């Protein structure tokens, strides 16, 4: 039976070619482009999917991904899809009100945030 979803297609490619490059990423900074092998993409996606299922139960819902361009974005998207959730891209460069509106309209309950985008110095005002 032919693959029907993105995650099925990636899994099929990974089983045939686990040590081939699945993702090539050039940040445009002049550094050597990064890459991930199919087996690495699948493992990273499985790790995220398991974490989402264990901590969030997103099945049938949506999960936002708040991050900029990154080598790991394809694995993160795949992990969200493997958790039976819809993927909602959220752009850190977009105005906050626009992001909040997208989150509201999609009914987002869960959002994966790239660690370096989280503000550490949070002030709570009573």
What is the percent of the chain where pLDDT is above 90? Answer: 61
Q: How high is the pLDDT of residue 85?
A: 92
24 Cβ contact list (under 8 Å, min separation 6): 33, 34, 35
> The domain spanning residue 34 has which CATH number?
3.40.50.980
Which residue, 45, 105, 56, is CA-closest to 80? 45
126 falls in which pLDDT band (50, 70, 90)?
very low
Q: If you search the block for the tokens 């995650």, which residue do you land on?
A: 7
Is residue 121 assigned to a domain? no
Q: Is residue 126 part of a domain?
A: no
Number of domains in the chain: 1
């Amino acid at each position: 039976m032919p693959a029907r979803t993105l995650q099925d297609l990636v899994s099929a490619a990974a089983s045939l070619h686990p040590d081939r490059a699945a993702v090539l990423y050039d940040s445009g900074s002049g550094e050597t482009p990064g890459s991930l092998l199919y087996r690495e993409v699948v493992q990273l996606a499985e790790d995220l999917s398991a974490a989402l299922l264990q901590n969030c139960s997103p099945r049938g819902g949506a999960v936002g991904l708040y991050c900029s361009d990154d080598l790991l974005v394809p694995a993160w998207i795949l992990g969200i899809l493997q958790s039976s959730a819809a993927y909602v891209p959220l752009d850190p460069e977009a105005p906050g009100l626009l992001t909040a509106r997208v989150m509201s309209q999609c009914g987002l309950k869960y959002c994966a945030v790239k660690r370096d985008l989280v503000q550490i110095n949070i002030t709570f005002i009573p």
